Amino acid sequence: MKSFKNYIQEGTGAVNTTQQSPSIDGTDINPAALENPSVVKALNAYVGAIARLAHEMPEQAITHIRHKLMRVGLQFGATPVMEGEKGDFSLPLSLFGGRFGKDENTPFGEFINDDGISHKVEGGLSINFTYEMQEDNTCKITARIA
């Protein structure tokens, strides 16, 4: 009778099954490391792919983008009312809900209260949306993190 260890060795060819496999795309980037330009570039590609999907209403696309960005810790505020045939707006981003508290450089009686991004990226980041109504009454949305 085979032991379980021998069965695993024959099936996978490996004894140590606790090793983690590398990422699928071969890159090991931290999506919360927003000071890295390649992370922002990858997030823009991700957001652009979501925006290109067919949505009947622009609010559906923005909600879809909001939910996907929440998976990596990015949030943005409520969207303004989209009136007219086309327009654009920008919303500031926060990372993991922002920061509140003290660090080693905070003076007595003061607190850090920011978006969690501006200490990594000068001025912080925002997501810029552009929308335009199409002839078939659908809405084309584009989004970009800058």
- The structure tokens listed for 8 are 């695993």
Residue 115's Cα: distance from chain center in Å? 14
Maximum C-alpha span of the chain: 74
β partners of residue 133: 139
Report which secondary-structure segment, H or E, holds 11. Answer: helix 4-12
| Residue ranges of the chain whose pLDDT lies below 70 | 12-27
- The structure tokens listed for 39 are 């992370």
Q: What is the pLDDT of residue 19?
A: 52
Q: What is the pLDDT of residue 24?
A: 47
Residue 142's Cα: distance from chain center in Å? 15
Closest to 126 in 3D by CA, of 10, 40, 1, 36: 40
